[in-house]
């Protein structure tokens, strides 16, 4: 049987200025190393056929399936605050779109599938390490309940890519509700192509915000919708200790999904100024800076939409500023509500925000592990002797805070068991710890051993369950295991 993709191609039906038509570059000897079978079924694909050599050839870009209309999307972007008027998909090719079992349109894109007109002298390929990292982290984010692109498959190509050294080449099949970015709008704004901006905005409204079709002011409502989704998304990042690492406008999704997992990382010890990305030398995208940067990116989107707001510049700017002004309260509401859940509060009272901030301050001062501090707090909700203080260099700092916390939760009627269940449902036991991710990458790259990768993916698929057989995966790194820098891998 032939592998069938029920493709639709709404984006490639837009004007030619939106993309370049380009086919993936064939590879020597594609070999499937991981297929996300549940996601394949959700997309209406046959996982058994995808696991055949024919399926591997498609997932590596060696064969273009029937119905595909391969394109590289055009976009611009601010990279670390510096505007680049043309970026685009330099090593990714969108095969087409499918409607999944929930009725949602999904892009299917090959990442690492060869050069495109936007490659900027790059080879358009991907090394195995970054492909595995994106597979691991994106699927972990999905399991954590955070909007994200997904990973359908990882394939090795049988070829090497040259970076600092020769590395195994690979292709990731990425799935997204779309790959439209703030930078996509910037591409047309810098060219003063208002018609294209309107065409793109109409496409986004129809695809991602259908409730706005026919609205009196659809473009104002579109900006408000993106602002709300980004505020909620970044709050969710902070609540699990996630650091994107490269929040350029070309990596900021209009749909509100986490996209482009490069030098991303999860914190071990809580540190608001934590940076892992090797290219973020000034800490622009540090953990605690992410809300501010999200608003900065949204402001760039608003600038692109101004011509659609009003012919009067001052009026358009004032209207955009009013919409952007909602971000801070929306982020704060989502973040504070999430923090209350993390410490087991069911209601909101005066003093809660300060109480939680005191815990975060104590965690930072005591280099407490972010994930385990909150997970162990759930144990402390049912057992006064539970060792939640173990993460603190000075356990007395936790004891002082915990006495106030216990007085606060005593004001609520929920049982200790109810409280713990609610806390464990939002405080994961397992995250993609950097040293674990690096270890499975090294096993794959150096030894062609994917068993550690498979096991890590399995554990991370159930982040809120205790999984006693895999308890070691919850452990913070030992001093000699700490990963201090992460890399883009482009």
Number of H helices, E strands in the chain: 16, 12
Q: Which of 168, 166, 165, 174 is nearest to 156 (CA)?
A: 168
Kind of pairing, strands 242-243 and 150-162?
unpaired
Q: What does the block give as tokens for 76?
A: 């611009």
In DSSP terms, 129 is beta-bridged to: none
Give the whole-angstrom CA distance, residue 14 versus residue 9. 9
User: How many CB atoms neighbour CB 136 within 10 A?
Assistant: 23
Give the whole-angstrom CA distance, residue 112 versus residue 27. 11
Q: Which of 321, 339, 241, 337 is nearest to 286 (CA)?
A: 241
- 191 by Cβ neighbours in 10 Å (0-12 / 13-18 / 19+) ranks as middle
Concerning whether 69 is annotated as a catalytic residue, the answer is no
3-state secondary structure 332-390: HHHHHHHHHHHCCCCCCCCCHHHHHHHHHHHHHHCCCEHHHHHHHHHHHCCCCCCCHHH
Give the whole-angstrom CA distance, residue 172 versus residue 444. 15
Q: Which of 401, 403, 409, 406 is nearest to 365 (CA)?
A: 401
Q: Which of 288, 224, 295, 264 is nearest to 431 (CA)?
A: 264
Instruction: Indicate which residue of 250, 260, 280, 369 is catalytic.
Output: 250
Residues 6+ apart with CB under 8 A from 336: 352, 353, 356
Q: Which residues are catalytic?
A: 250
């Amino acid at each position: 049987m032939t592998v069938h993709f029920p493709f639709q191609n709404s984006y490639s039906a837009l004007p030619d200025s939106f993309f370049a038509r380009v086919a993936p570059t064939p590879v020597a000897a594609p070999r499937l190393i991981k297929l996300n079978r549940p996601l394949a079924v959700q997309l209406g694909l046959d996982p058994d056929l995808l696991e055949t050599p024919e399926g591997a050839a498609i997932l590596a870009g060696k064969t273009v399936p029937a119905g595909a209309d391969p394109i590289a999307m055009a976009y611009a972007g601010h990279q670390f605050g510096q505007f680049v008027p043309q970026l685009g998909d330099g090593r990714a090719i969108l095969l087409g779109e499918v409607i999944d079992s929930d009725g949602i349109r999904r892009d299917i894109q090959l990442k690492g599938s060869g050069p495109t007109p936007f490659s900027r002298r790059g080879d358009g390929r991907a090394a195995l390490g970054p492909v595995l990292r994106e597979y691991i982290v994106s699927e972990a984010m999905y399991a954590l309940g955070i909007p994200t692109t997904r990973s359908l498959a990882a394939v090795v190509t049988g070829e090497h890519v040259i970076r600092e050294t020769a590395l195994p080449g690979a292709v990731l099949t990425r799935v997204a509700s779309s790959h439209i970015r703030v930078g996509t709008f910037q591409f047309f704004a810098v060219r003063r192509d208002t018609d294209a901006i309107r065409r793109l905005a109409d496409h986004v409204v129809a695809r991602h915000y259908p409730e706005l079709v026919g609205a009196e002011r659809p473009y104002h409502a579109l900006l408000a919708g993106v602002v709300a989704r980004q505020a909620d998304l970044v709050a969710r990042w902070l609540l699990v200790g996630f650091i994107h690492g490269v929040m350029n406008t070309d990596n900021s999704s209009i749909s509100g999904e986490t996209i482009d997992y490069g030098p991303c990382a999860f914190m071990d010890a809580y540190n608001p100024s934590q940076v892992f990305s090797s290219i973020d030398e000034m800490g622009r995208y540090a953990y605690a800076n992410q809300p501010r940067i999200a608003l900065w990116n949204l402001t760039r989107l608003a600038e692109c939409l101004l011509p659609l707001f009003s012919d009067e510049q001052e009026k358009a700017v004032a209207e955009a500023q009013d919409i952007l002004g909602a971000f801070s309260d929306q982020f704060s509401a989502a973040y504070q509500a999430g923090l209350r859940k993390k410490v087991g509060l069911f209601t909101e009272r005066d003093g809660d925000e300060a109480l939680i901030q005191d815990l975060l301050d104590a965690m930072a001062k005591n280099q407490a592990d972010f994930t385990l501090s909150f997970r162990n707090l759930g144990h402390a909700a049912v057992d006064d002797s539970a060792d939640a203080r173990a993460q603190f260099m000075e356990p007395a700092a936790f004891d002082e805070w915990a006495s106030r916390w216990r007085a606060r939760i005593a004001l609520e009627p929920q049982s200790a068991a109810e409280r713990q269940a609610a806390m464990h449902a939002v405080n994961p036991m397992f995250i993609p710890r950097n040293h674990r991710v690096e270890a499975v990458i090294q096993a794959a790259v150096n030894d062609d051993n994917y068993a550690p990768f498979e096991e890590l993916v399995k554990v991370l698929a159930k982040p809120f369950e205790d999984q006693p057989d895999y308890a070691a995966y919850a452990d913070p790194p030992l001093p000699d295991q700490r990963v201090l820098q992460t890399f883009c891998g482009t």
